[in-house]
Chain A
Amino acid sequence: MKYELTGKPDYALAEVTLNQGESITAEAGAMVAMSANMQIETKAKGGLLGGLKRMVVGESFFTNNFHPEGDAGTIKLAPRAPGDVEVLELKGESYMMQSGAYLAHVGDIEIDTKFGGFQSFFSGEGFFLIKVSGNGLVFFNSYGGLKKVSINGSYIVDTTHIVAFDSTISYNVEAVGGLKATFFSGEGLVCRYTGQGDLWIQTRSGPQFAGWLNPFRPVKSSKD
């Protein structure tokens, strides 16, 4: 297995070459192009219940498994939003990831859904986290650029800008500032991190862009 990340950081694409007997699992819809000897197998990851759980966290119900037949093969994968792609090499560690940041994985990787916390249900921001662990590679993506922050102590991040973080860092979802700041600051909820480890943030926010776009939607007439 070989991979190359091209088009970074604006329009990143993961180009993966697989030998016979090797395979990659990717989020449904991530495949851009592939060699003709690639075989595709669609699965509800983790069985039906796991699939439903994935749907709740805002990911697609299905994942696709690709493997070459007869010879080596290549596949190109891209995220849904314009942005960057990076790879985590896991050797037994685990990372938390914002739902939607997962692109693909190779090897013995377990994907578990985990909710971001009670408050997140009211934020309207869908702050759901998944946990990736095991041995292998995890391809993840961002909307906008990726910025790595090494935390040593504490740090605060807007929840919509979180991409992934070392699962050993502890976190708490909270409102920013006082009551007035919370309601009017436009900052919504933030995540307060404490501990030591790596954190990736994205330089643009999906919900914020959606909020910007909202006024441009046509208005429903009263007859409907």
Chain B
Amino acid sequence: MKIEIQNRPAYAIADVHLELGESVISEGGAMVSMTTDITVTTSTMSTGGGAGGLLKGLKRMLTGESFFLNKFTSSTGGHVSFAPTLIGDVEHITLDGTTNLVVQSSSFMACSEGLSMDTQFGGMKSLFAGESLFWIQFSGSGELLLNSFGGIFCKEIDGSFIVDTGHIVAFEDTLEYKIKKVGGLKATLLSGEGLVTEFYGKGRLFMQTHNASAFGGLLGPKLPPRQR
């Protein structure tokens, strides 16, 4: 597998070159184009307990918690191009099996077949109330493509560091974290900063320069209302 990213950082697109028989897995809707030797199969991913399966996946789709994965397999050697929904960058991260990476679900774009994906990771599930975001823990060795809203940047934490929760893309699970309010009650309610995450320990944290739900909240009220 060879990965090439173009149009960085605003409109990044990733070309994943596959060898004969090789597969890449992506979130539903990320495929832009592909060679004709590629076959696509769709599966559901279990989020927060219980088995996957079509019916459960459908139910989750209706409750806004769905996660469909597509597997692209090349029969003769070819490529698939993937791009995110929002304006922003794509980051290629190689996992070597020694450290696991916890990824915010909307930041996941694609990965090689060998990586294992676990959504049972509970700690931060309810963090974004009313939003269909959850966390996926990646382990094993392989290639991972993440996308960000805006630019993506990495910080090597050694000690402690505070980040706005909506700006987290991914972090290594060697890091510990706790969710906290920023400052006192007045700051929590009026600062516009809401809840923050404090990470501590040693490991890498990937952040995005923009907060997707803040952008949605900016545009949404200007649009005509939708039917419930």
Question: Which A residues are within 8 Å of any B CB, using their own CB?
Answer: 9-10, 82-84, 144-145, 147, 149, 153-158, 161, 176-178, 180-181, 184-188, 192, 201, 203-205, 208-209, 211-220, 222, 224
Contacts and interface: CB of A to CB of B under 8 A. Distances in A.
Interface in B1-30: 6-7, 10-13, 27-29
Interface in B24-55: 27-29, 31-36, 38-42, 44, 54
Given A156-B35, A204-B87, A214-B226, A147 B40 contact: no
B87 A144 contact: yes
Given A144-B11, A181-B41, A216-B216, 17 more contacts: A144-B7, A144-B10, A145-B11, A154-B36, A161-B83, A180-B42, A184-B44, A184-B68, A185-B70, A187-B40, A201-B81, A204-B84, A205-B85, A215-B64, A216-B220, A217-B223, A220-B228
B10 A209 contact: no
Contact of B86 (A9, A83, A209): A209
B219 A213 contact: yes
Given A157-B32, A157-B33, A144 B83 contact: yes
Interface residues of B, number: 45
Contact of A220 (B35, B68, B226): B226
A218 B228 contact: no
Nearest to A84: B11
Top 5 A-B pairs ranked by shortest CB distance? A216-B220, A186-B28, A186-B29, A145-B7, A216-B216
B184 interface: no
Contacts, number: 145
A201 B32 contact: yes
Contacts of A218: 220-221, 223, 225-226
Contacts of B224: 217
21 contacts: A84-B11, A145-B13, A155-B33, A157-B32, A158-B31, A158-B32, A161-B32, A161-B33, A180-B42, A184-B28, A184-B44, A184-B54, A187-B29, A187-B70, A201-B32, A205-B83, A205-B85, A213-B216, A216-B216, A218-B220, A222-B228
B227 interface: yes
B70 A192 contact: no
A57 B39 CA distance: 32
Nearest to A209: B85
Contact of A82 (B41, B87, B221): B87
Q: Which of B7, B29, B32, B226 is packed against the most chain A CB atoms within 10 Å?
A: B32
A120 B204 CA distance: 45
Contacts of B68: 184-186
